[in-house]
Amino acid sequence: MDVIDWDSLEPAAGALAFDGVSVPWWVCGGWALERYTAVRAPHDRLVVGVFLDDVPALRDHFAGADVWAVTDGFAGPAPDDLPPDVTRLWIRARPDTPWQLDVRPTRRWQGRWVFPRDPTVTFPLDEVTWVDDGIRYLNPEVVLLFRSGRVQRTTDLDSTLPWLRAEARERLFTELRKLDPSHAWLERA
C-alpha cells in the first residue's frame, strides 16, 4: 500500500474518531478555511492539531490503530517515546487501510499555543481557534500564516481575505511581516 493513500475524512467524521479524547484538538488546514469561508475546495486529508504534551492521551485513545511518526519528511511506525522533532503523526485503523488523520503536534508554553515557525508567537488556544457545531477549528488567519511558508500561490489568500475581520487581517499581516518582510502576500495588507 502507498504511504500517501488518504481517506479524506470530513471534520464531522474526524470528530467521531476523536469522540472521547480528553484533550483539546482542532481542525487545521483547508478544512478550517472551508468551514470559515464556505468556499468549497478539494481536500486530500483531514489535518488536526493537538498539543505535543497531550500526544500520550491521543495515543491511548487510538491504541490498536496504526500510528506513524513523520520526522524530517520520513515516515515510520511511531515509537512509544516520540523523538522531539516529530512534526506529524499519521493514523489509520490498520496497515491495510488508507491513512485517516494527519495530526500536527503543537508545542504549548505556559498553557499557550505556540506557532511552530516562530516560537515567540504564542496565544491562548481560544484566541487562535473558534468552535462551530462542537468542532474546534484553527482561525483562518493562522492557517494562512502556516501556508504562507510553503505556498506562494494566492488561491487560499484570495478566497479567505475578504472574509477576515479587521483584527484577524491585522494579525495575519503583522506576523507575516515578522516571518518574511518581503513576502509577496504583504502587498495585500
Is the whole model's pTM more than 0.75, yes or no?
Answer: yes
pLDDT bin (cut points 50, 70, 90) of residue 73 is confident
pLDDT at 126: 96
Q: For the chain, give the number of residues.
A: 189
Beta strands in the chain (DSSP E): 25-27, 46-51, 66-71, 74-77, 88-92, 101-106, 108-109, 112-114, 122-124, 129-132, 135-138
pLDDT at 2: 47
Half-sphere exposure at residue 71, Cβ-oriented, CA atoms within 13 angstroms: 11
pLDDT at 152: 64
pLDDT at 64: 95
pLDDT surpasses 90 at 83 = no
pLDDT in tens, 106-162: 999 999 999 998 999 999 999 999 999 999 999 999 999 999 987 667 889 999 999
pLDDT surpasses 70 at 55 = yes
Which domains are assigned to the chain? Answer: 11-188 (3.30.460.40)
Pairing relation of β-strands 46-51 and 101-106? parallel
pLDDT surpasses 90 at 105 = yes
> To 5 degrees, how large is the angle CA 50–CA 33–CA 43?
85
User: In the numeric block, which cell numbers belong to residue 14?
Assistant: 474526524
